[in-house]
A and B are shown apart, each in its own frame.
Chain A
């Protein structure tokens, strides 16, 4: 499992640097210009009041944009689930199936490593990659905060919104991984995962405007994403809820991976799952 993990993390270097550095630099730049916003608070207040509430809905409702936590919520953490969610969906759906579709998983699984070891080695690499990306974003933010007079978040305090993002990303990564285990292709799994991600984002935004939609939003993960407001204290129930849901999808994906065939092209194993999906491992006689 350790070999699989090390190799998978090494392969993720590009993702870590690409996503982490770009969003980290964005966070640094954004945090560094907070002072100029705060110093012109009156003008900004007038501007904000002129904005329609429909726009604010997608930033998590009418929050105090001029406060440091409101500022980071709107400017960074409001769209973080969507942007990094795409990373999570692509990484989760391709965690095993990308190699399977290439045909490499066939050779890998013929080596003396259990499917459980392979699965969790890869999943752990996804967790570490996600944490590494969030760490770079956090570092970028903290560097930017050092240049700000009005934004005074501590190093540990600034991790709390990232924990909220982490739980959200793990959930979508695990969900996409599960989808890749039951759907016939990675592309379909990523499409369904992406649709759920974008749908969750928009329905949650609409929930601010419509009470009926708000009832639906209660069942969607976006509702339990705290964002930048978490600097004032992480909602542990929401965090735990997202993490438990991520764990459930991870275990379902593992359960399915343990029982399914490793597919290769031309073998006819790429169809939609039928009732066979529920079939237990074939009972091969122990004689």
Chain B
């Protein structure tokens, strides 16, 4: 695994090109396109122009039911898709930077499993029905942070600094341990088992403004902290000793990034369920296309991650309309082949230059 790390993700040069305006424009365009598509398309056929007029407050021919579809069902779902996708991609990119491992993502370090355990315990305890319990993001955060701390402690228990390989191995162990506990809690509480299942499969399908309000504050904190560390992550990529000579407190910066990424992952997971792949595919695609520096990868991961999940959700609700497909199935089904395509074409480009 360390070998993969050194071959796929060479440390970016400190003078790597910054974020080019073209990519930023492309990112915003992708978000806008995905959002508009998500609003005007769906299992129910509505005239796109009328939908846009309604949303802009210009008045439209839509009846009360169609207005409810646009404003109460599609709009919050699009917003939540953007928020969850961008947060998961940003956190994935940050984990990869801080652990200097291209395979690092919330799933590998046990954060998602810990968050899952936290949410399961809250659902089992509260069982309050349709909406996501208000305690869920907090419980997910505690679970995620606990898991990452455990992973870190185990990875360094051999003494000295944690090597990437031992961290990843520790993460795998912690993740399976916590997943086992989650399954146990879930199976021991048959009365809430269906709620836990439906949460695991992803709840974007029934989400409304309640979930958006629940996620938003955590997402904002995560974004601010992680974006503020984009230069520090570039410095850390060169090595801890070099970072120290440049005046960066490597250990403390790492800890802050890990905590912030765990918070973001936990909050996203607590409202949307376990959606795999976004945290790996989007950052790597951005890296391959736009550049290695975290000043490029972090902002673009936010934009393209949001657009990606928003489109994946659109497919989830239209492909077999009027039935739904779990969104995790869509992200994996379309995300994996797309990623292979990007990887191949970028290798070919690399070979010729």
Pair from one complex: no
